[in-house]
Structure 1
Amino acid sequence: MSESTTRIMEKKGAIELTAAMVLSGSLGIFVTESGASPFNAVFFRCVFGAVALGLYCLVRGLFKNHGFTPKKLALAALGGVFIVFNWAFLFEAYKSTSISMATVVYHTQPFYVVLLGALVFRDKITRTKMGWLAVAFVGLILVADISPSDLTSGSRYLVGLGQALLAALLYAFATIIAKKLTGVRPHLIALVQVVVGIPLLLPFTNLSQTGHLGSGWAWLVGIGVIHTCLMYILMYSSYQKLPTAKIAVLAYVYPAVAMLGDWIVYGHHITVLQALGLPLIVAASLGNNLGWKFAPRRKAAAATTATVPSTSGATR
Structure 2
Amino acid sequence: MTTETKPANQEKKGAIELTAAMVLSGTLGVFVIESGASPFNVVFFRCLFGTITLGLYCLVRGFFKNHNFTPKKLGLAALGGVFIVFNWAFLFESYEGTSISVATVVYHTQPFYVVLLGALLFRDKLTATKFGWLGVAFIGLILVAGVSASDLTGGGDTAYLQGLGYALLAAVFYAISTVITKRVTGVKPHLVALVQLVLGIFLLLPFTALSEMKNMGGDWGWLVGLGVIHTCVMYVLMYSAYQKLPTPKIAVLAFVYPAVAMLMDWAVYGHSVSWLQALGIPLIVAASLGINLGWSFKGRRPAAVQQAAPKAPAAGSTTTTESKIEVQSGGNR
TM interval, shorter chain, is over 0.9
Segments of 5+ residues of structure 1 without an aligned counterpart are: 298-316
In the other structure, the counterpart of 1:116 is: 117
In the other structure, the counterpart of 2:204 is: 201
Q: CA deviation at 1:149?
A: 2.7
Structure 2 distance, partners of 1:248, 1:149, is 37
In the other structure, the counterpart of 2:174 is: 171
Matched, 1:156 2:152: no
**Amino acid in the other structure paired with 1:252:** F
Structure 1 distance, partners of 2:112, 2:25, is 20
Aligned counterparts, 1:77-88, within 5 A: 77-88=78-89
In the other structure, the counterpart of 1:98 is: 99
Structure 2 distance, partners of 1:94, 1:7, is 39
Structure 2 distance, partners of 1:128, 1:87, is 31
Question: What is the DSSP-based 3-state SS (H/G/I as helix, E as strand, rest coil) of the residue aligned with 1:212?
Answer: coil
Structure 2 distance, partners of 1:195, 1:201, is 10
Which of 245, 248, 273 aligns to 2:248? It is 245
Structure 2 distance, partners of 1:149, 1:130, is 30
Structure 1 distance, partners of 2:299, 2:39, is 47
Structure 2 distance, partners of 1:65, 1:296, is 46
What is the aligned length?
297
Structure 2 distance, partners of 1:98, 1:212, is 26
Which of 191, 195, 214 aligns to 1:192? It is 195
Q: Alpha carbons of 1:15 and 1:204: their partners in 2 closer, same or farther (altered >3 Å)?
A: same
Matched, 1:134 2:135: yes
Which of 254, 275, 280 aligns to 2:278? It is 275
Q: CA deviation at 1:150?
A: 1.7
Aligned counterparts, 1:203-222, within 5 A: 203-222=206-225
Q: CA deviation at 1:177?
A: 1.1
CA distances 1:133-171 after superposition (whole Å, capped 9, x unpaired): 000000000001102232233611011111001000000
Structure 1 distance, partners of 2:47, 2:238, is 18
TM-score by length of 1: 0.92
Runs (4 or more) in structure 1 with deviation over 3 Å come to: none
Structure 2 distance, partners of 1:249, 1:80, is 26
In the other structure, the counterpart of 2:232 is: 229
CA distances 1:234-262 after superposition (whole Å, capped 9, x unpaired): 00000000000000000000000000000
Q: CA deviation at 1:71?
A: 0.4
In the other structure, the counterpart of 1:59 is: 60
Structure 2 distance, partners of 1:242, 1:180, is 22
22-31 or 141-150: bigger deviation:
141-150
Which of 252, 263, 268 aligns to 2:266? It is 263
Structure 2 distance, partners of 1:256, 1:225, is 22
In the other structure, the counterpart of 1:3 is: 4
Segments of 5+ residues of structure 2 without an aligned counterpart are: 301-333
**Amino acid in the other structure paired with 1:181:** V
Structure 1 distance, partners of 2:267, 2:46, is 25
**Amino acid in the other structure paired with 1:195:** V
Structure 2 distance, partners of 1:276, 1:254, is 18
**Amino acid in the other structure paired with 2:153:** T
Q: CA deviation at 1:216?
A: 1.2
Structure 2 distance, partners of 1:202, 1:244, is 37
In the other structure, the counterpart of 1:301 is: none
Question: What is the DSSP-based 3-state SS (H/G/I as helix, E as strand, rest coil) of the residue aligned with 2:229?
Answer: helix
Question: What is the DSSP-based 3-state SS (H/G/I as helix, E as strand, rest coil) of the residue aligned with 1:64?
Answer: coil
Question: What is the DSSP-based 3-state SS (H/G/I as helix, E as strand, rest coil) of the residue aligned with 1:47?
Answer: helix
Q: Alpha carbons of 1:97 and 1:296: their partners in 2 closer, same or farther (altered >3 Å)?
A: closer
Structure 2 distance, partners of 1:204, 1:96, is 20
Structure 2 distance, partners of 1:11, 1:221, is 30
Q: In angstroms, what is the RMSD of aligned CA positions?
A: 1.2
In the other structure, the counterpart of 2:35 is: 34
CA distances 1:164-201 after superposition (whole Å, capped 9, x unpaired): 01000000111111210110000000000000001100
Question: What is the DSSP-based 3-state SS (H/G/I as helix, E as strand, rest coil) of the residue aligned with 1:294?
Answer: coil
TM-score by length of 2: 0.88
Percent same amino acid at aligned positions? 74
Q: CA deviation at 1:269?
A: 0.3
Question: What is the DSSP-based 3-state SS (H/G/I as helix, E as strand, rest coil) of the residue aligned with 1:18?
Answer: helix
Aligned counterparts, 1:70-81, within 5 A: 70-81=71-82
Question: What is the DSSP-based 3-state SS (H/G/I as helix, E as strand, rest coil) of the residue aligned with 1:215?
Answer: helix
